[in-house]
Amino acid sequence: MNSIPWLSQVQAHLLRRKFWRLFGITLAFLFGLHALVALPGNTQQPVTLSLMMNSTEVPAWRDVLIPAFEEAHPNIRINLIEGPNQTNLQEDLYTSAFLLGDSPYDLIMMDVIWTPKFAAAGWLLPLDDRVNAAQLNQDFLEQDVQGGRYEDRLYRIPFRSDVGMLYYRTDLLEQVGAQPPETFTELVEISQQIQQNTDVNWGYVWQGRQYEGLSAMFVEILQGFGGFWVNPETNEVGLDRPEALEAVNFLRSTIQQGISPSGVTTYAEEETRRFFQSGQAAFLRNWPYVWPLANEDSPVAGRIGIRPMVAQPDSTSGACLGGWGFGIAVNSAHPDEAWTAIEYFTSEEAQRRFILETGYVPSRRSLFTDPEITARYAHYPQLLEVVESAVLRPPIPQYAQASDILQRYLNGALTGRFTPERALQSAANETRRLLNVGGDA
């Protein structure tokens, strides 16, 4: 308590002044803050587009394509989301997002096999009004463009193509005096010679895990034996025909004869790439992305050849068409900006940069013979021929379920849970029921 009255008056005055000063400062601060927050609204707030992709591709996008795009389009930002590597896991994420209502993604980076399902479900914006169809057909690979259509409308612009290939070790073939194989029998024989006469233990590695990569790989073997999975025009199912049985028996025999490790039934692309790249196998089935990885900084660098998958002497070799492209989510709040991004990313210049960086396959024809690209990847002109005759997996809206059925029974046959005959009969019946073409009960 203060006993001197005038002193307390002075103190009270000082306190009042302090209060007002503090009040003023706080007001000024709040005002300034408000102005700061409000500022971007006065200028132009950048639009953010969300884009998910598999983690293998993320570095090239984060370090190369996205910075270049954002520099060219400062009012658009890309929110890059790292998704799972497996295509079917990514598809599951999109499917649940769309089913829940508002998809958090604007740009949909789509595997070629998703278009019919996503389009039939009404999840994508049709893009026909935005493209010059003649230009698109002229510049891009026909199958890739086809893979973006559903019922005469276009929903996806190809960004990069993909095609299954057979890799081989040139040094090992030389050691046993063999030429690259053309047929399944040659593949087996050369594998065995290499296993017997060199210090490499395994002949051939391929993707046998129960996932989408198994269906893609199987399409190639099936085609090589002259068979088919589903005819998209008639919905006819070919899985219980003799060619399909031969295809499964061939794959099983590679395990039974010790040409392929039994672990292949759990391998996806990356496991098989690492296996081959570490020098443990003579042959590998995989996509072209393996080429730069296995040739740079790798124990087998410079000792690798690549060719289309082998086939029976009387059949044409099968290459499965893969590939990724862009669609726009039907509920995106920024379809015009999304389209600007699609035009940029699928342009010749962006694709060239991406391909030089990663070794993926372009979707524009001219890039397969582009001097900068062929200087780095001499096999691209040959790849163009393979991509142009590649086989699409059935472009049907029920593709995800059909593939799921095939994966389940095929993996069961490869791991010995079912006989090949029983697996294929059940897979064929279930697929017929799915497509409503009268499978047995």
Sites of contact with ligand GLC (CB under 6 A): 87, 111-113, 162, 212-213, 216, 269, 287, 322-324
User: In this structure, what are the phi and psi dihedrals at residue 154, rounded to the nearest 5 degrees?
Assistant: -105, 130
State the Cα–Cα distance between residues 350 and 364, nearest whole angstrom. 11
Least distance from ligand GLC to the Cβ atom of residue 176, Å: 31
Kindly tell me which of 195 and 277 has the beta carbon lying closer to ligand GLC.
Answer: 277
SS3 annotation, 194-255:
HHHHCCCCEEEECCCCCCHHHHHHHHHHHHHCCCCCECCCCCCECCCCHHHHHHHHHHHHHH
Task: Report which of 304, 315, 321 is spatially closest to residue 378, judged by C-alpha positions.
Answer: 304
Kindly tell me which of 87 and 425 has the beta carbon lying closer to ligand GLC.
Answer: 87
Kindly tell me which of 85 and 175 has the beta carbon lying closer to ligand GLC.
Answer: 85
Kindly tell me which of 148 and 181 has the beta carbon lying closer to ligand GLC.
Answer: 148
Least distance from ligand GLC to the Cβ atom of residue 158, Å: 11
State the Cα–Cα distance between residues 387 and 361, nearest whole angstrom. 9
Minimal CB distance residue for ligand GLC: 322
Least distance from ligand GLC to the Cβ atom of residue 320, Å: 8
Least distance from ligand GLC to the Cβ atom of residue 269, Å: 6
Kindly tell me which of 190 and 293 has the beta carbon lying closer to ligand GLC.
Answer: 293
Kindly tell me which of 212 and 220 has the beta carbon lying closer to ligand GLC.
Answer: 212
Asked if residue 143 lies in contact with residue 393, where contact means CB atoms within 8 angstroms, the answer is no
| Single-letter code of the amino acid located at 67 | P
State the Cα–Cα distance between residues 266 and 245, nearest whole angstrom. 21
Least distance from ligand GLC to the Cβ atom of residue 87, Å: 4
State the Cα–Cα distance between residues 114 and 181, nearest whole angstrom. 33
State the Cα–Cα distance between residues 386 and 164, nearest whole angstrom. 9
Least distance from ligand GLC to the Cβ atom of residue 221, Å: 15
Least distance from ligand GLC to the Cβ atom of residue 227, Å: 20
Kindly tell me which of 69 and 399 has the beta carbon lying closer to ligand GLC.
Answer: 399
Least distance from ligand GLC to the Cβ atom of residue 113, Å: 6
What DSSP assignment string belongs to 315-366?
A: SPPP-BEEEEEEEEBTT-S-HHHHHHHHHHHTSHHHHHHHHHHH--EESBGG
Task: Report which of 247, 294, 245, 250 is spatially closest to residue 269, judged by C-alpha positions.
Answer: 294
Beta-bridge partners for 202: 281
Least distance from ligand GLC to the Cβ atom of residue 289, Å: 8
Least distance from ligand GLC to the Cβ atom of residue 323, Å: 5
Q: Which residues of 148-175 are buried (b: 16+ CB within 10 A; e: fewer)?
A: bbbeeebbbbbbbbbbbbbbbbebbbee
Task: Report which of 401, 399, 419 is spatially closest to residue 409, judged by C-alpha positions.
Answer: 419
Residues counted in the chain: 441
Least distance from ligand GLC to the Cβ atom of residue 161, Å: 8
Residue 266: exposure state from Cβ atoms within 10 A (0-12, 13-18, ≥19): middle
Kindly tell me which of 334 and 408 has the beta carbon lying closer to ligand GLC.
Answer: 408
Task: Report which of 196, 415, 183, 201 is spatially closest to residue 318, judged by C-alpha positions.
Answer: 183
Kindly tell me which of 218 and 339 has the beta carbon lying closer to ligand GLC.
Answer: 218
Kindly tell me which of 53 and 245 has the beta carbon lying closer to ligand GLC.
Answer: 53
